[in-house]
Structure 1
């Protein structure tokens, strides 16, 4: 047994080094606080009991001198009880702290000269032997709790399992501290030995609650696997990992865009395979006239962008009026490069001629020569201008925006009405991007935000004249199109109006999923209760050290009891503690009892234990003959324990009790570590699911219906259930975290990048075309 225990202890040591070092000072302080609080709360009652024992003259006959001293010391303690209370609490806490400090790893120091060894005085040895005998009843009574602390404190400190003599919370430490406090309190040396006979379990406070609190604090530091706290921490860590992955992707895209725009005159071209439908003249072929240093469209004269660029005055072009000044390739004869300001002015005039959406979803033009609104303006713009007349930066901006609008146009999940609305924004968005390159880097840029909102609302199948959100979309697009001179302000106002409309609609839509949410909350609560109950039982059985009848009972019946207790804990606080304590008492009752005190304690506890067991079993309605059979076998087990012969010395009895309890504690902690290691093995699908946030969109591949986009409408508090909706106020369905993760593994579910359609299109553009013929200074995808 010793070899197995050392091997297990070593495993505990290795697994505990990392956990124990995370915040050891804080944990040690919390343990000291537990001891301090317990002594402060119970020492006054102990002091009162000591006073009564000292003044009691009805006990065994004692000498007159001794009786006089007891009365004298008793009255002193009675009149100065608070002073002794302060001394006792201070001494106990200081003693425990010294023990903890002695266990903490200390740096090895060189010794200049050999240290002389000295013998321990005989008086001190006698004193220690006396307190060994005084503390033995406490050691036996709390053998299980002390053994568990031996393992857990060793785990915390990164050491092997502690011996009983190393446990900083062992009864002897507390008893010696009380004796030291009494010696300091009692000035008369003749009264120093009066308190030793009174340091016994019947008079001192109960150590069990303190040991239970210490063990619980150590257990919570490691977070018991399977507990609600462990589940929350695990999912929080996974969500952080998912957010970090998204942030990393966003940072990588930002670096690629910076390289793209910083590539100088050799910026790579984006191969945007955009269908040109219908291939008819677009707004650029509308009539125009030259006016002063600029130009303005008109319905009377013809207009060719190439001619407008060639005839543009020098002030409207790039510095110097030549391509060489911009570092670009030589321009064709007679063609000058169009500056960003000149291009912006040209686009402003085109925007004034753009058709606008109407309430019925069709477009109108501001005059004759209007063209259909489903024409892609941006590629036509680039093709209509002489080659080389645009700077590399402006040309790249047009290419990237062409890819963005292509992504929207090809998304069949967005209704045609909304795709048409988005197409109206091509010229205004291009102007915004030319004026402020932050459009490509900032998700919150008003123009970019507008496109993302329209696309996402499109996935919700927003259309129809009666839909308030669709009406807000139309108002926003109309405001942006008509207010050609306000630029970013028009986008900001439109976004604010649309977001307000969306928020109001989401508030109204919450009632639609109220019933599914209520069902999901109930389901999660039941599942969590069952999980916690199963874990609590499994941590106590399974190593063959529990009586078979009790092990089967706990697995088959008490798991149900604990599930009920966890379920009603919010309404009836203390239910879980009661059911767990009853389970632990039952396990204790069937362990060997090697002392008269242990057997006496068993006989005293049995009536209350059996009554509590029966009450809980009534709750789960276990009323068949198997229940009677269980209690009959349990009674026989208890009888055999009480009848077993006592032929061991007190020292050997204590040793056996500690060994059994310590082996049980090691086994339990090893199971906790194994469960924790299993839970930590979260694959990419689990991390993805734990990182989902309300409002995100996913694609589900359905055998018969193809790809279906759904919105995450609600996430349960413990993130074990997810409710999705197909769109605005449409039917909702729920999935468990396990089912959703499996769908992600199987490729049946995919998270649509929550950064928006703009970021997705930009990433695709950088990956697909930005690396082709990239300049030396550009970052290849």
Structure 2
């Protein structure tokens, strides 16, 4: 995600704090107050850039509303005021973009710098105070309150999340929306301030503020969502498990981990399992506890609870003997099961050991629960036999971990649990055809061999091997990103031209929809001038005047063919024609339109201009009415056609939803004509989500596909998304599914 600020920060304090964050001292430096506040300061350029990407669309909506208001206004002064504002924003769109971006950047920077000292404001005092002296000031405050409140309601969900995350940054409860530096009020005030700078006419200030409604204003939801995602990517979590050292963690190099957590019912089941309230039914049909043994175990557990502080000499020896049996079983089966192609959990057999017969209910529950988890893993069709044969060897070490530390089941960041999740995700990455020679499989083998040979009681070993595997995956990810850099640049260029074409089509459509464009001119604009506007939009950042020039030339051309009913209008036409025709020809030369149709177009244009010069100045009321009715009819037909086209384009079937849900890092199976399935990672999504680049894990095979083609493949069933939720989370849900709460 690009977070380059539009206005570079020059604060010395910011630079000093940045160096503090990037020092390798570890968690202490990362979690310091200055580092936490700096994280929030870094969200300002992100928000500013996201606003900048919306400014063109927002400006168009605002200009359209001003024009509509001028057309519908009853009072002439209001109609003129609205039309003048419409013309101002159309002529000075680039200036307006710059003013809005600058005002928002300044406002957010100021808010972030003081927000930690801001007190919660009462709802009724948030916008109104006693400093307003005039009616206009009071009305402005009321309009600001209404606009901000409407945006708060519309964006309630991401705002609540952001309030929570900012509260986590400050190590306190979620803040109030009045303290949130990214609250809608700040954006509304900044946009209004930008307008007041653009237009010195005070009469337009309240007019524009009335129009800043959710349907017209900036779309704040994607901005707030991106800030939330960026904060969580930096280790800030809405729940109480921040990990500021996890920003370069597992999730950055593995398939996207969809947010997943055990629901309250499952959490309650886990608590009951490990409190001894219930005993899991063993899934191995060859093993059944006798009624006497179960009664004996229950009595033993009750005595254990009553005499928790007493010594139990035989208990220690039983545990020691059981762990010794586990170690022997691990050695005995390590070679036997690496060559198996049929996988099943060996943990059911652990419960047959003589030393296991006197384990407590909780200890047996722990082993049975792990047996079910491994049963689920070995039945997972997304994992190949190579990775399963290695995960078989982790069963006994994981049992030893879980019996010593039951946080394995309750804490997602537990190192042993993280290792299982990483291996599950890595199994998705492995190509079934070449897995046996894949270097990743060798790295995984080294990790498991180290766990088997070195693990005794120190769980830190799992943290070490997770770090080793993570480092390897990070190196692969960096190589893959470098490999797709050229396809990304090509896709960006293609999308830029595609978006420019859409903007050009819109520019022409809103003019044709008025019904005032002559038929032959309409064809010319839709076939030739759209090409010119596409080029102008594509170079807008480098040459903003080119777009203004192309739009003005088009507007002048349309105006030149409208009826001229006064001597002054005809004189103005004669005066403008030479310059207009020169510009028109220059633009047509730029797109190399040298076809015979060009001669025919200019011939028709000259005939129309000559006819207008000879036409009578006075038109009869009947003729004026006919012209007005024809124009209104054409405008109505154009708008209806466009509405129908947009409705047809807005298909919202399951395939559309599946593509909309895709995120960078997800893995998809592509089925080719030979029914061969190849797995690719979604390596890149274009800013407008119009094209996607998929690549093999190491980036040596990459291809680009448009959104329309990808949706078509989902509809035909030749592509499927690979679910990459936490493997242990899914396995736990399966293992506890038959337990009644």
- 1:450, CA displacement in angstroms? 1.4
SS of structure 2 residue aligned to 1:723: strand
SS of structure 2 residue aligned to 1:692: coil
Does the aligned pair in 2 maintain the 1:524–1:720 contact within 8 Å?
A: yes
1:458 matches 2:441: no
Does the aligned pair in 1 maintain the 2:401–2:457 contact within 8 Å?
A: no
Does the aligned pair in 2 maintain the 1:351–1:481 contact within 8 Å?
A: no
Match of 1:758 among 711, 716, 728: 728
Does the aligned pair in 1 maintain the 2:318–2:355 contact within 8 Å?
A: no
Residue of structure 1 equivalent to 2:563? 592
- Describe the superposition over 1:454-482 as per-residue Cα deviations: whole angstroms up to 9, x where unpaired: 23323333778986544432332233223
Residue of structure 1 equivalent to 2:388? 419
- Describe the superposition over 1:380-431 as per-residue Cα deviations: whole angstroms up to 9, x where unpaired: 2245579986666555544443344334434566454332222221122233
SS of structure 1 residue aligned to 2:511: coil
Matched ranges for 1:381-392 at <5 A: 381-382=350-351
1:496 matches 2:467: yes
Return closer, same or farther for 1:394/1:676 CA change in 2, 3 Å cut-off: farther
Does the aligned pair in 2 maintain the 1:260–1:268 contact within 8 Å?
A: no
* Alpha-carbon distance in structure 2 between the residues aligned to 1:586 and 1:218: 33
SS of structure 1 residue aligned to 2:263: helix
Matched ranges for 1:90-489 at <5 A: 222=216, 250-251=260-261, 253-263=262-272, 267=278, 321-322=300-301, 346-347=322-323, 350-351=326-327, 354-355=330-331, 374=340, 376-382=345-351, 394-411=363-380, 414-440=383-409, 442-461=411-430, 469-489=440-460
Return closer, same or farther for 1:268/1:672 CA change in 2, 3 Å cut-off: farther
Match of 1:513 among 465, 480, 484: 484
Residue of structure 2 equivalent to 1:532? 503
SS of structure 2 residue aligned to 1:507: helix
Residue of structure 1 equivalent to 2:684? 714
Residue of structure 2 equivalent to 1:133? none
Q: Could you tell me the TM-score, scaled by structure 2's length? A: 0.56
Return closer, same or farther for 1:543/1:658 CA change in 2, 3 Å cut-off: closer
SS of structure 1 residue aligned to 2:523: helix
- 1:573, CA displacement in angstroms? 3.7
Return closer, same or farther for 1:97/1:540 CA change in 2, 3 Å cut-off: farther
- Describe the superposition over 1:617-651 as per-residue Cα deviations: whole angstroms up to 9, x where unpaired: 122221111111111212222333344333389x9
Does the aligned pair in 2 maintain the 1:261–1:393 contact within 8 Å?
A: no
Higher relative contact order (CA 8 A, sep 6+): 1
Return closer, same or farther for 1:305/1:764 CA change in 2, 3 Å cut-off: closer
Residue of structure 2 equivalent to 1:552? 523
Return closer, same or farther for 1:102/1:230 CA change in 2, 3 Å cut-off: closer
Return closer, same or farther for 1:391/1:353 CA change in 2, 3 Å cut-off: closer
* Alpha-carbon distance in structure 1 between the residues aligned to 2:442 and 2:423: 12
* Alpha-carbon distance in structure 2 between the residues aligned to 1:556 and 1:248: 46
- Describe the superposition over 1:100-129 as per-residue Cα deviations: whole angstroms up to 9, x where unpaired: 97997999xxxxxxxxxxxxxxxxxxxxxx
- 1:503, CA displacement in angstroms? 0.7
- Describe the superposition over 1:126-174 as per-residue Cα deviations: whole angstroms up to 9, x where unpaired: xxxxxxxxxxxxxxxxxxxxxxxxxxxxxx9xxxxxxxxxxx99xxx96
- 1:500, CA displacement in angstroms? 0.9
- 1:518, CA displacement in angstroms? 3.5
Return closer, same or farther for 1:591/1:379 CA change in 2, 3 Å cut-off: farther
Return closer, same or farther for 1:625/1:350 CA change in 2, 3 Å cut-off: same
Does the aligned pair in 2 maintain the 1:721–1:734 contact within 8 Å?
A: yes
- Describe the superposition over 1:258-300 as per-residue Cα deviations: whole angstroms up to 9, x where unpaired: 1321345565858979xx9xx9xxxxxxxxxxxxxxxxxxxxx
Residue of structure 2 equivalent to 1:611? 582
* Alpha-carbon distance in structure 2 between the residues aligned to 1:621 and 1:249: 53
Q: Could you tell me the TM-score, scaled by structure 1's length? A: 0.54
Match of 1:563 among 534, 556, 578: 534
RMSD value, Cα: 6.0
- Describe the superposition over 1:655-695 as per-residue Cα deviations: whole angstroms up to 9, x where unpaired: 99999999999999999988887777644533432332222
**Structure 1 gap ranges (5+):** 1-10, 17-27, 42-93, 108-155, 157-167, 178-209, 280-303, 311-316, 328-335, 357-362
* Alpha-carbon distance in structure 2 between the residues aligned to 1:220 and 1:581: 30
Does the aligned pair in 1 maintain the 2:376–2:734 contact within 8 Å?
A: no
Q: After the TM superposition, which of the residue ranges 661-670 and 440-449 deviates more from structure 2?
A: 661-670
* Alpha-carbon distance in structure 2 between the residues aligned to 1:385 and 1:699: 47
**Structure 2 gap ranges (5+):** 1-63, 70-81, 96-132, 147-187, 189-194, 239-255, 307-311
SS of structure 2 residue aligned to 1:719: coil
* Alpha-carbon distance in structure 2 between the residues aligned to 1:467 and 1:560: 49
Does the aligned pair in 2 maintain the 1:461–1:728 contact within 8 Å?
A: no
Residue of structure 2 equivalent to 1:582? 553
Paired residues in the alignment total: 530
Largest Rg, 1 or 2: 1
Residue of structure 1 equivalent to 2:98? none
Match of 2:667 among 694, 697, 714: 697
